[in-house]
Amino acid sequence: MHQEDHTMAMRFSDTNEWEEDWFITMSGEYQHLWKYIKDKCDVAGVWKPNVAMFQAITKFNVSLDSFLKKVNGGKLRIIVLENGRWFIPGFIKFQYFNKQQEFELLLNNPLHKSLYQSLNTNSVDLGAVRGLIAVCQPSKDKDKVKDKKKS
C-alpha cells in the first residue's frame, strides 16, 4: 500500500503582526486568510488562490478583491502575478534571510535554486523580492552575477 507524504512545510510566523495597525484593522476572516496564504504558499511565497478550499476549511465567506485592498493598504504585501497566482514580496527574506538586510541567491545551493525556480516559473519580477540584490550562477571561471534590476 502506497502512503502519501503529507508533510507540511515549517514556517516562521511574525508575531509582531498582532500589534500592527494594518493587521488589527482587518476582520478576523481576513486575518485568518493572511495566515492561511503564508502557510499554504510555496517555498518562494507564491500562492495559487483557492478561495473555495479556504471557505470549506474555515466556513468563512471572503472576497479576494476586498482582501487584497485591505492587506495592501499602506504597503504592498501581495502582488497578483500574470498567471493569477499571488506573490508575497517579503516572504523569502523573512523565512530564510531574516537577519540580513540584503541577500543573494546562489544557484549552487539547493534551497536557493528552488526559490529561483519558483520565481522564474511564475514570472516574478526579481526586483519585487524584498532584500534580493543578485542571483549568482557559479561557473568554472568565476561567478556570473545576474543583477535583479536587469531581469
DSSP-derived secondary structure letter, 140: S
Q: What is the pLDDT of residue 148?
A: 55
Instruction: Write out pLDDT tens, residues 41-93.
Output: 999 999 999 999 999 999 999 999 999 999 999 999 999 999 999 999 999 99
For 11-151, strand residue ranges (E) read 46-47, 79-80, 86-87, 103-106, 132-137, 144-147
* pLDDT tens string 8-42: 678 899 999 999 999 999 999 999 999 999 999 99
Ranges of beta strands (E only) in the chain are 46-47, 79-80, 86-87, 103-106, 132-137, 144-147
Domain boundaries, the chain: 15-91, 99-150
Would you say 85 and 46 are in contact if contact means Cβ atoms under 8 Å apart? Answer: yes
Query: Which pLDDT band holds residue 144 (cuts at 50, 70, 90)?
Result: low
